[in-house]
Amino acid sequence: MKMLWLSLLTLMMPGQTPVAAFPLRSPDLPLHHDAGPPEAEQKFAEEYLQHFYGYKPKSQRQKRTAVRGVDADWTTELCDKVQEMQRFFGLPPTGELTNETLAVMRRPRCGLSDVERFEETIRWKKKTLSYRIAGYNSPISASKVHRVFRAAWRIWSNVAPMKFHKRSRKEADIVISFHNGDHQDGSPFDGKGGILAHAFLPGFGIGGDVHFDADEEWSVNSTGFNLLAVAVHEFGHALGLPHSSDPGAIMYPAYNFAPTHELQLSFRDVKDVQHMYGISPYFASLFSKRPPPRTPDKCDPDLSFDAVTELQQEVLFFKDRFMWRKHPKFEETGITLISSLWPDSVPPYLDAVYENVGGNVIVFFKGHQYWIWTLRQLKLEEGFPRNISDFGFPSRIKSVDAALHFRKDRYTVFFTGHVCWRYNELQKTIGGSPKLIAELWPGIPTPIDAAVFYEGFVHFFKGNVHYKYDPNAKRVVSTGPVNDQLDCKRTEDNEILSERK
Ligand code: ZN
Ligand code: CA
């Protein structure tokens, strides 16, 4: 019911920016549609933007109006900063403090700014650096911590021509330590969660030093925060690297360690560190067979999708661990990790995804398994993943290629190979035998990768081709590269091609 009410609200107030707070919107929270967020949330957001996005609150700010907690000083500047942060994290750039935006702000992360850039690159002038572990207080044994740090340095020295030596006494270039709260460097830690660690750019004294928040639950596995994942990131700063908005990069500011995903530098990290220090002599032999992973690029002419779905007012395009979000109000599409919306819930490389609006759930498919995420409780339903045989498929069907949901008529079409199955969402049954895709959807080659219904058309995706299909006329009305669904401009295209050379 809430969703219907929301869409009515959006329809009735066309001048206003829509409520774009899915799916992390907690249903019991009021929707601060025209009143702005409550004071405490706005204060938190302002501090966040001040810390990470260089927002400068005006000293002579107007007094906040007490009425309904409205901040009369919801300035353009602040709105710009919210948009800058939203773009960085691949959120729709509404400029509003949606609950989803606030949720991203609350995610554990590195303490360094996301926008600080320096005139010239700050880097070490020598290739051999010493490090020392000081002020150690962690429940993990000292030898384990040493091993973790050694491994973290090796990840960088495998790609850049650097050597890192541990010293136990004397002075070292890089001092690594654990601290609680205020530790006299002007950037106090904040207790459990929030900021996990920070580091200083190369230089004398504190330069290059790395501090971990001792209040966090550090681990060498996936409980609490993985020390290796955070160490590799912070050591990147100690070498002079800034934050990257590439969600596949180690230098992405939010903590996104997933035990299912191998911890490694991305193509972007490698390129950035090699730009500063050159290429390690071991690089070619280590990475010739398995080059560092590239984050999928929306302008790649060979781009294909794993799955595509509508979700409330947006369209989501899934690829590997990532997804692009297309919001009807914004031309640009941001890339983000699937796990940023559904943490610890669904695996990467999905086969199909659809939103069952009537059931208020999102259904994910991979192989013979499926997962149901409830939008009401914002979590996975108990007992998932389950076998796709639940839908009534015969046992020979081991996976689905795509799921196409029709909100109005409450049914879903599943595509498997050359056939498709119509599933009634109300009766929860597949009606009749499968139909040939060639007969039901003439002009669509099989098997398909993904399908979605929006704006009155069915959109099919196969390889790098997008087919726009008119379901009434029963024909393909246009075809084009899949990139035409994302805001890929010709010029960007050229940039990317030249970057690859
Ligand atoms: Zn960082
Ligand atoms: Ca903390």
Helix (H, G, I), strand (E, B) or coil at 335: strand
CA 282 to chain centre: 31
CB 321 within 8 A of CB 248: yes
Task: Beginning with the edge strand found earlier in the chain, give each strand of the sheet holding 314-319 in spatial order.
Answer: 307-311, 314-319, 322-326, 334-337
Ligand at shortest distance from the CA of 236: 1
Cα dihedral sign for 281, 285, 288, 292?
negative
> Which domains are seen in the chain, by residue range?
19-110 (1.10.101.10), 128-287 (3.40.390.10), 307-486 (2.110.10.10)
Checking phi first, is residue 184 left (phi over 0); if not, alpha (psi -120 to 50) or beta?
Answer: left
Q: Give CA torsion, residues 297, 326, 490, 322, to 10 deg.
A: 0
Taking only the tens place, the pLDDT of each residue in 221-278 is 888 999 999 999 999 999 999 999 999 999 999 998 888 788 999 999 999 999 999 9
CB 467 within 8 A of CB 452: no
- Please give the Cα distance from 431 to 227 (Å, whole number): 51
- What is the reported pLDDT for 10? 26
Q: Measured between alpha carbons, how far apart are the two ends of the chain, in Å?
A: 52
172: CA distance to ligand 1 center in Å? 21
In the numeric block, which tokens belong to residue 74?
């919801």
- Please give the Cα distance from 202 to 440 (Å, whole number): 63
What distance separates the 2 farthest-apart alpha carbons in the chain? 79
Under-70 pLDDT residues of the chain = 1-37, 58-74, 118-119, 489-501
- Please give the Cα distance from 191 to 151 (Å, whole number): 26
Q: How far is CA 169 from CA 199, 235, 372, in A?
A: 21, 20, 54
255: CA distance to ligand 2 center in Å? 12
Residue 223 DSSP label: S
218: CA distance to ligand 2 center in Å? 11
* Residues recognised as catalytic: 234
Ligand at shortest distance from the CA of 111: 1
251: CA distance to ligand 2 center in Å? 18
CB 136 within 8 A of CB 146: no
Listed in sequence order, the DSSP H helices in 289-349 are 338-341
CA 341 to chain centre: 7
233: CA distance to ligand 1 center in Å? 6
Q: Specify the pTM.
A: 0.84
Residue 485 DSSP label: G
Burial of 356 (0-12, 13-18, 19+ CB in 10 A): middle
Ligand at shortest distance from the CA of 214: 2
* Orientation angle between helical segments 76-88 and 99-106, nearest 10 degrees: 60
In the numeric block, which tokens belong to residue 36?
């702005």
Ligand at shortest distance from the CA of 249: 1
Give the β-pairing of 475-481 and 465-470.
antiparallel
213: CA distance to ligand 2 center in Å? 6
Residue with tokens 């303490």: 111
373: CA distance to ligand 2 center in Å? 29
110: CA distance to ligand 1 center in Å? 4
Ligand at shortest distance from the CA of 229: 1
Helix (H, G, I), strand (E, B) or coil at 276: helix
Ion ligand 1: residue ranges with CB closer than 5 A: 110, 112
Q: How far is CA 250 from CA 235, 238, 386, in A?
A: 10, 13, 33
- What is the reported pLDDT for 64? 46
Phi, psi of 283 (to 5 degrees): -55, -50
- C-alpha closest to that of 303 among 325, 282, 328, 324: 324
- What is the reported pLDDT for 144? 93
Strand partners, 458: 453, 469
Sequence length of the chain is 501
